[in-house]
Each structure stands twice: as structure tokens, then as C-alpha cells.
A = this chain, B = another copy of it.
């Protein structure tokens, strides 16, 4: 019998089995360690255009995450916005330019805002000093990054007011952010670790990709909704998506959704909100409700905040987090004013500290305190805002209807979700992107295609209509009519 083992002379006697196994294991372990050290930290992806100058040993590298962020986008949402920037339609000076239906902003009540600002701007920004003059220190100096208490009180009151008064907000659960965008990023950072995921009913707002994926490392898992349900999410779809995600090894930390939904514009019913929160509680995950269009509801359905469901006493509300802001309902995106409202004290406390990166300048806070506290103005503004969206919506949807183009049912938002399937040359993502390109370059219209929103049914487009003048609508309809005709011929 001939037995060959490593270190032949050593392994003898009763310890032979143990030592004969241990020695190769140790050698193997140290080999692994050596290899690991050699390749750690991982090399960033190779860069092109390297050059050297002076005595440099090569061009300096930026981080691989910066390379990712700097890369040109392939999202039709951003491509469309860029194209408009290069050739924007103007009724007076550029009648052949691209008409913007891609950006959810509103100028419907600028007359009201303008007269308020003309009267109150100066006074709201500079508080009176004891001597009666302006007091610069009230706007110039450092203030708490999470927002002045007066502003949080005013915001809480305003949010309760636009949500129909059925829910109240506690200013101590509130953090003021420089727009809705950092509110979303900070919540993602706080609720999920790098590599974890959120479920998100799709079609969804294309900006979430940058908001969440740029820096937090949190994944978004679309939960596909269908036209047959008017794109409303169901618990069974959530359940299925969660199970699939877990099978793939993803750790799902929460559900993120917009209500009123963006891009569809429908409103989640009280029952659906209950179902979602019950589901989240069963699975022990978070719920993030983006309610930035809560005051832009123009249909007959009642808007219900997830904060109201959370406060019903039925649930552990610490898993519920609300995003809000003034970019849509007050039409002042230029003011960069958003809110994180969270029932979880650690989230509030971490978000407050993170606001060093995204705080609202004090002069703007002072304006907002005056604006939001002027309840007479706010009531008048909100009524006009809703009424004017409703009218513009009717006008826009009616125009499309006359072209044989229907829209999904909707009750809120600054947009409608347009069914352009009849204009597709092929019923596929490719066909949809071809139509997007034809809309941009032939009809000179920028509408956001469903594929940018992770919609699985081709042919749907989000069209924002609240920055349009009435006289622009016939221009748009005529452009679409011509496109439809040429593609049918």
C-alpha cells in the first residue's frame, strides 16, 4: 500500500488524520488571504483618454461612482428635457420650438403668487429689530438646518389644510428639506442600507432613479401595474414582487409610492392605503408615501394621506414616512422647499443632521413662514389652483379625445397619462421610443414615454399641461394630428 500525503515524514501516529487535514487547510487559507490583499481595494473601471503631463504618473482618477453619475443619461425623460432646453417653444419668439409637456410645473396661479409676493416679500424676509429697522441677523446668520420651528409649524398647518383637515401633523416629526428631491434621498439613506431595495409600483416618476440610485446605493424594484386596473397597485402584486425579490437574495426595506400617483394621476383609496400598510406591517418593512401632489387634486375623489391611516391606532406607525413639498401644490419649485415627515424618531434625528447638506436658506424660510401662515391667501390660492387645473385638464383631455386619443382616469397631478397606442407602428418598447423620437423631432413635442417610467405596456405617455397657456393647446393638438396622419398614411 502506497499512501502519499504532504509533509510525509511528519504525519505519523494517531495525530496524523488531524494534522494531515489541517496543514493543507492552513496553506489554502493563507493563499486566499494573499490573493485577497493583492486585489483589494477593487480597481475602478479603466478610463479612456489617459494622459500625463509634467512628472505625473498618469491622469488622476476620479471615483468610479462619479464616473457613473457623470455618464450621459439614456433615460428618455432626461433626453427630452435636454432637447427642449436646446430649442424651447415660445409663442412670440420661437413658434417652431419644442413644446414642453415633460416637466411637472405649473404657472396657473402665478397672478396670485405675484401679487402676494409684491406686497409681502420684503416684509416677510426682514424681521423688524427692536429699534424698528430691518434686522439683517434674522436672515444672515446660521439657523437650525432642519428648519425654523415657525416654518415647521406653518408647514404642518398647511399640509393639514390641503389634505382636507382630516389629519394633523406634529412639527417635531418634521424636517424641512431643500425640495422633495433631497427628502427622498435622505429617507432612502435612512431606511435602507446600501444594496437593499424598495418595492415601487410602476409606472413611476422617472426622477426617483437619480434621487435614490445616484448616492444611496438602494435598488428600486418595479411592481408592474396594468391598464386593466387603471395602473393601481394591488397587495397581491406587492406580495409576488417581494417573494421574487427575496428569492433573488434582495433585502427589501420598504415600499415607495406616489399618491396621487405620478405619472398616472390616480388617487389611492382609503382601503388600498390600509391594505398597503397592513402588508408592510406583516412583512415588517417601511412605507414611504410621496404626497407632493396632495393639493393638486381636481377630481371628485377624496385624497387620504398615509399619515391619517398611520394615526388610526391600528398599526405601528413608526414605519410610515411622508414626503411633501411646495414645488407642485404652490408652484414654486424655484424655492426648493420640501418636507420629510416621519413617525420614527431615529429617522427624524438622522434626517435633521443630514440637512447640513440640503437646508433651505433662511431668507426663503422667512418668506415661506409668511406665505404659509397667510391662511386667507392660502385658501384662495388652493381653490384657484384646483379649479384651474381642472379646467386645463378638461381642455387638454378634450383636445386629445377629438383626435381619438384617450387618457387614463385621473384625479390629481399636473399631468395626464395618455394612451397613444393607436399611434405606435409596433406594439413594443422600440415602437414607443420611435414615437417619442417622432414627437420630439417631427411634432416638436416633449412627452415622457412610459418606458422612462418602467411601464410594461407600450404606448403610454405622461403629458404635463399646467405650464401651458390656453392658446398653446390647439397648437399641440394640431401637431399631434399631423403626426398621426403622416404615420397612418
Q: Which residues of A contact B (CB under 8 A)?
A: 1-6, 8, 11-14, 16-17, 20-22, 24-25, 27-29, 37, 40-41, 44, 51-67, 69-70, 103, 105, 107, 110, 113-114, 117-118, 121-122, 125-126, 133-137, 139-143, 178-179, 181-182, 185, 189-196, 210-211, 214-215, 249, 251, 253, 278, 281-282, 284-286, 314-316, 318-319, 327, 331-337, 344, 346-347, 349-350, 353-354, 356-364, 367
Residue of B nearest to A67 (CB): B346
Which residues on the B side are within 8 Å of A55 (C-beta)?
278, 281-282
From B63, B110, B192, contact of A63 by CB (8 A): B192
Give the residues in chain B near A344, CB-CB below 8 Å: 60, 62
CA distance A62 to B117 in the complex (A): 41
Q: Given that A134-B118, A331-B140 are known contacts, is A62 also in contact with B4, CB under 8 Å in the complex?
A: no
10 closest residue pairs by CB, A with B: A4-B16, A334-B362, A66-B190, A114-B136, A21-B24, A70-B350, A60-B319, A69-B350, A66-B350, A4-B17
C-alpha spacing A356/B253, complex, angstroms:
24
Q: Is the CB of B136 within 8 A of A113?
A: yes
18 examples of A-B residue contacts, CB within 8 angstroms: A3-B8, A4-B20, A6-B20, A44-B193, A56-B284, A65-B189, A103-B142, A110-B136, A113-B136, A114-B133, A140-B333, A179-B356, A210-B353, A336-B359, A336-B360, A357-B358, A360-B361, A363-B364
- Beta-carbon contact of B2 and A70 below 8 Å: no
In the complex, which residues of chain B have a beta carbon less than 8 angstroms from the beta carbon of A22?
A: 24
By beta carbon, the residue of chain B nearest A112 is: B136
